[in-house]
């Protein structure tokens, strides 16, 4: 059970790091802030995951829906 939880958190963290890379590629002036963006996003992810499954699902719903909508264009 613990291994699955750690795997899920690491998978989500990897996705957020990729998102930070995408943001930096879109706005190159943010490149010096890349480690800070990654660590801030990971800290927010950790805090959200500590609140429980319901809150985690609600938090991931906000960025997921626009992403899915842009795929359908």
Q: What is the pLDDT of residue 64?
A: 80
34-46 pLDDT, tens digit per residue, is 888 888 877 887 7
Give a yes or no: residue 55 inside a domain. yes
Give a yes or no: residue 69 inside a domain. yes
Query: Are residues 47 and 56 in contact, defined by beta-carbon separation less than 8 angstroms?
Result: no
Which phi-psi region, left, alpha or beta, contains residue 37 (left: φ > 0; alpha: ψ -120 to 50)? alpha
Split into its structural domains, the chain has a count of 1
Confidence bin at 10 (pLDDT 50/70/90)? confident
pLDDT at 17 over 80: no
Q: What is the pLDDT of residue 1?
A: 66
Give a yes or no: residue 21 inside a domain. no
């Amino acid at each position: 059970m613990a291994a699955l939880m750690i795997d899920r958190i690491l998978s989500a963290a990897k996705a957020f790091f990729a998102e930070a890379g995408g943001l930096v590629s879109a706005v190159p002036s943010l490149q010096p802030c890349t480690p800070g963006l990654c660590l801030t996003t990971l800290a927010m992810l950790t805090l959200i995951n500590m609140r429980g499954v319901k809150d985690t699902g609600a938090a991931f719903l906000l960025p997921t829906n626009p992403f899915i909508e842009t795929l359908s264009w």
